[in-house]
Homo-oligomer: A and B are copies of this chain.
Amino acid sequence: MDKTAQKRVTRTDGRGWEGVEIEGYRPGAATGVERHTIVGGRKASESDPGPGAEVRYFELQPGAVSRLEKHEHEHFVIVKRGLGYAVIEQEAAEIAANDIVYVAPLELHQFVNRGDEPFGFYCIVSAVRDFSQEPSAEDLARLNASPAGKIAKPFAVPPPVKRS
């Protein structure tokens, strides 16, 4: 995308958004998760051209989950459709359409489809942001010892491709 030419209006076409490619977590990995990057993109610096935030839409098939991860940047999530859990640290909260979720810096989190329809949500993040971290052994032990451990699926999504 030419970041200097962000469209003002991106219309839905029912299946997704006009001109927006539907991606997965990683080419070839069947995770049941779609990603639509509707506005903006990652930037190395605030002074780079393009929007200061990114608007993405994720859709999880029944049984699917987002990656269990943590990072310094915040998530602002708006549920569009379906039924899910927001696993954040030791809590698993039931969420549904029009519920709003805030994930603070470095909170371990995962979104889980708890229904039999697709579960979809918008997720807004800063364009300048750190990369996701995998949970540590201590994170996993704490999660598994909590009620949220019954909901989370730590190994359902392969870890991100390593960056040098």
Contacts and interface: CB of A to CB of B under 8 A. Distances in A.
Nearest to A103: B8
Interface stretch (A88-96, A134-142, A150-158): A88-96
Number of copies of this chain in the oligomer?
A: 2
Contacts of A122: 78, 122
Interface stretch (A22-30, A47-55, A63-71): A47-55
B51 A100 contact: no
A100 B53 contact: no
A86 interface: yes
Contacts of A8: 86, 88, 91, 93, 101-104
A9 interface: yes
A9 B93 contact: yes
A131 interface: no
A42 to B, nearest CB: 15
Residue of A10, A52, A76, A97 with most chain B CB atoms under a 10 A cut-off: A76
A11 B94 CA distance: 9
Residue of A6, A74, A98, A104 with most chain B CB atoms under a 10 A cut-off: A98
A74 B52 contact: yes
A113 B18 CA distance: 23
Interface string A7-35: 11111100001000000000000000000
A110 interface: no
A83 interface: no
Interface of A: 6-12, 17, 38-40, 51-53, 55, 74, 76, 78, 80, 86, 88, 91, 93, 95-104, 122, 124, 126
